[in-house]
Structure 1
Amino acid sequence: MLIAHLSDLHIRPQGVLYQGLVDSNTMCEQAIDHLNALWPRPEVVIITGDVVDEGQPAEYEKARALLSRIEQPLLMIPGNHDDRGLFRENFCRGMPGADDDPVHFIAAGLGPMRIIGLDVTVPGEHHGDIDDAAHDWLEAALAQEPERPTLIMLHQPPFLSGIPYIDTYACLNGHRLAQLVAQFPAVERVVCGHIHRSMQLRFGGTVLCTAPSTTTAIALALDPHAKEASWLEPPALLLHHWKPDTGLITHWVPIGNFPGPMPFA
């Protein structure tokens, strides 16, 4: 089973640049072009939040137009830059719950892996939180098929990365998530967005990885006094490949056109 993983698109209204400098909409289009050219084709596409930048209706209108070009089933959770009510209105019609309810879901009919979306965002804030309600919902979800290979997706990472200005907005109470995940060995991966960089670490007895953004990369600044910065590094996506003999393998896939193929390996 192949799962393509995009994150942090930061889509703006038509003709508006991200942070006044970067054409995130065109970069999203290029990411979708790259995604649609992958072979074999992924069975499902996931997006781990910050679909838009300021939670504006015009941004969601543009996001719907861009994302309509994705041909596979699309699973998304909101990020801190999303508006939960507008996110639900545009992408979750038919999903039970009020506009301000967290956007949790279980997708179990797309292949051998089960994908669980856990909305840890805190409306009006940039950090996330594994609060009692999120913890209890996830525990019940994992218990439904405790032996099924599972991927859990959330937006804010539940660990401190060492980048001081992004750690201010991490997911609080990450230890609660780690303790819960450790009780379910079939969890193959926990995946996040938010951090605009690819990172991986051991977490709760499994592997946690963060996805790069399709737009700017947050600077890898490990000085505790570093100031906020971003770079126009090559955008990328992740490709999660589940096989019965190995479990889940995660590939970092740069977006763009590069010299090759060359006749050697």
Structure 2
Amino acid sequence: MLIAQLSDPHIRPEGVLYQGVANSNRMFNEALAHVHALDRCPDLLLITGDLVDEGRPEEYAMVRELLAATRIPFLVIPGNHDHRENFRAAFGDQPYLPREGPLHWCVEDHPVRLIGLDSCPTGKHHGHIDAQGLAWLARTLAQDTVRPTVLMLHHPPFMSGIPYMDTYRYMEVQQLEDVVRAAPNVELVLCGHVHRTMLRRWAGTVVCTCPSTTTEIDLQLAPEAPPQSHIGPRGCMLHLWDKAHGMVSHVSHIGAFEGPYGFA
């Protein structure tokens, strides 16, 4: 099974630029074209939050217009820039999304079980899942402790070292870690939010963050570093699952580069 992961497209209304500088709609369209042009078509597309920038209905209408071109089934979770109820309305045709409450879900239709988590407290930018959500996750994980499982949540549950991102990190991580550590079959935890690729061993598994399809948040580790981003390099993640060999993840850069050349 090949899973493509896109994240943080920050779609705007038609003709409006993200942060006044980036054509996030065109860039997301290019990311979708990139995924469809791979030499192996993904079986599933995951989008790990911040589908839009301001949570507005017209932004979600644009997301659905862009996604209408994909031939690949997709699953979505919200990010801190999303508006839960507008998100729910825009994706009301997606049967896995709950009709009320936080947007936690579980999909069992693939060789890998997929669990989406809503880590976005209303009106806040940091990440958190309340006690009811953690109890739901614990029950869902306990229903099958053998089948390979992938978790998705927007906020990575660790400190990145980038000061202006860690202000909006996932808070109170230990409770979530305890639930995940009790599940021996969690292959990966997939996140967005940080607009960069990061890896960390956590809770007995591996957390992997996905680049944004729009901008890359700069890697600055000084405590006083000001927020800063660049347009590019952009990318997506590809997660290849094989029953014999398990899961391997790749970064796939979006864009035109010199080559190909006849060597490896």
How would you bin the TM-score normalised by the shorter chain? over 0.9
Partner of 2:162: 163
CA distance in 2, matches of 1:28, 1:220: 22
Which residue of 2 is the match for residue 102 of structure 1? 102
Give the partner amino acid of 1:235. Answer: R
Which digits, 9 at most, give the CA deviation of each residue in 1:165-190, with x for residues without a partner? 11011111222222221111110000
- Distance in 1 (CA, whole Å) between partners of 2:129 and 2:102 is 12
Q: Any idea what SS the aligned residue of 1:236 has? A: strand
Higher deviation after alignment, 57-66 or 175-184:
175-184
Q: What is the CA RMSD across the aligned residues, in angstroms?
A: 1.0
| CA distance, structure 1, for counterparts of residue 212 and residue 92 of structure 2 | 23
Name the residue aligned to 2:255: 256
Q: Is the 8 A contact 2:121 2:129 kept in 1?
A: no
Give the superposition deviation at 1:51: 0.2
Q: 1:140-187: per-residue Cα shift (whole Å, max 9, x none)?
A: 111121111000000011111111111011111222222221111110
Secondary structure, aligned partner of 1:129: coil
Residues 1:51 and 2:44 aligned together = no
Matched, 1:62 2:46: no
| 1:135 Cα deviation after fit | 0.8
What residue is the counterpart of 2:122 in the other structure?
A: 123
1:223 corresponding residue in structure 2: 222
List structure 1 segments (4+ residues) > 4 angstroms apart after TM superposition. none
**Distance in 2 (alpha carbons) for counterparts of 1:190 and 1:40:** 23
* Equivalent AA in structure 1 for residue 44 of structure 2: V
Task: Note the C-alpha offset of 1:6.
Answer: 0.2
Any conservation in 2 of the 1:120–1:130 contact (CA below 8 Å)? Answer: yes
* Counterpart Cα distance in 1 of 2:227 and 2:233: 19
Residue 137 of structure 2 aligns to a residue whose secondary structure is helix
Change (3 A) 1:96 1:180: closer
Question: How far does residue 130 in structure 1 lie from its aligned partner after superposition?
Answer: 2.7
Give the TM-score normalised by structure 1.
0.96
- C-alpha contact 1:130 1:176 (8 A) present in aligned 2: no
Deviation, 1:53, is 0.4
CA distance in 2, matches of 1:245, 1:181: 24
Where in structure 2 are the equivalents of 1:223-242 lying within 5 Å?
223-242=222-241
Q: How far is 1:82 from its partner?
A: 0.6
Alignment correspondent of 1:82: 82
Deviation per CA, 1:109-135, whole angstroms, max 9, x where unpaired? 12x101100111011000111320121
SS of structure 1 residue aligned to 2:150: strand
* Equivalent position SS for 1:171: coil
Structure 1 residue runs without a partner (length 5+): none
Q: Please name the residue that 2:193 is paired with.
A: 194
1:181 aligns with 2:180: yes
Tell me the residue number matched to 2:12.
12
Q: Aligned equivalents of 1:209 and 1:70: distance in 2?
A: 24
Q: Percent identity?
A: 50
Output the CA distance in 2 between the equivalents of 1:233 and 1:260: 19
Tell me the amino acid that sits aligned with residue 63 of structure 2. Answer: A
CA distance in 2, matches of 1:131, 1:175: 12
